[in-house]
Amino acid sequence: MKFDDYLEMSLKLDLGLDDGISGDYQLISMLYEKGTRITVIPDNYQSFLMGDEYKEIILENSFRYYDLLNKNQRIMCSSPAIMYEQYLPYIEAKGNVLLGGLGLGIIPLLMCKKEIVHKVTVVELSSDVIKLCGRENEKLEIINADFYNYLRTQDLSIYDYIYMDAYTSEGNVYADIIIPTRKFLLENYPTIPFDFWEEDEWKINYVLKYKNAQVQ
């Protein structure tokens, strides 16, 4: 599927979510009217690697935009620019898929639409996020648990693709999460393809931080 087709599908996706609050989490939405100009390809390192240039479109139909906040800090939104970052994992998804992190639930629902995807298992730490953003789908299972503990305690051989979309603002994501998780998966499940959300961005930040520390 080409990106433009994926974009059109994601813009038409009916999340059916209600604004609300659960614990420290809040879900809010707003309607972008037809004719609104929005960014669909962000100007970031991932778009550079994919050879895509910054791009905007004018909406041909109205579009409901969602924000998921934690203590007033955005942790996920449904902007097309964010959906661009989920395009490659959507393409890679097949068979039984394991996802770390529910967010707004957009990428799980899109993956469930693929005929070659049989089941999508989402592991989400926050019961509040599940309450606000969970939904039912015959292909979808949502488990309330710590994703990185789940990786190390369950038999992952049943999965055909793993995507880690679990964001954290604590510690160094690349050094503390991505590197050890990548090492674990390569050593124990070398035949299962996997990806991390914005791994290249995290790697750049890690390298720059290391270089700055060396200079100082």
Domain end marker among 56, 82, 108: 82
The upper half-sphere exposure of residue 48, i.e. CA atoms within 13 Å in the direction of its Cβ, equals 6
Query: What's the structural domain count of the chain?
Result: 2
Same domain, 115 and 27: no
pLDDT computed for residue 166 by the predictor: 64
- Has residue 211 been placed in a domain? no
Question: In this predicted structure, what is the pLDDT of residue 72?
Answer: 87
Blockwise average pLDDT, block size 10, the chain, 216 residues: 91 91 96 95 85 93 94 91 91 97 94 96 96 94 95 96 77 80 95 88 71 50
Residue 136, domain extent: 87-206
Residues 47 and 108 in one domain: no
| Claim to verify: residue 132 and residue 36 sit in the same structural domain | no
Phi/psi of residue 77, nearest 5 degrees: -140, 170
Residues in the chain: 216
pLDDT, residue 131, reads 96
Task: Dump pLDDT digits (tens) for 121-169.
Answer: 999 999 999 999 998 899 999 999 999 999 999 999 999 999 998 666 5
The whole-number pLDDT of residue 122 equals 97
pTM: 0.89
Main-chain phi, psi angles of 206, to 5 degrees: -65, -45
Give pLDDT, residue 150. Answer: 96
In a shared domain, residues 106 and 193 = yes
Same domain, 23 and 77: yes
pLDDT of residue 171: 60
End-to-end CA distance of the chain: 47
Residues 95 and 181 grouped into a single domain = yes
Instruction: Name residues whose C-beta falls within 8 Å of residue 120's C-beta, 6 or more positions apart in sequence.
Output: 93, 97, 99, 108, 111, 112, 137, 139, 140, 141
Q: Which of 82, 116, 138 represents a domain boundary (last residue)? A: 82
Task: Tell which of 29, 57, 82 closes a domain.
Answer: 82
Q: Report d(CA 64, CA 10) in Å as an integer.
A: 11
CATH number of the domain bearing residue 154: 3.40.50.150
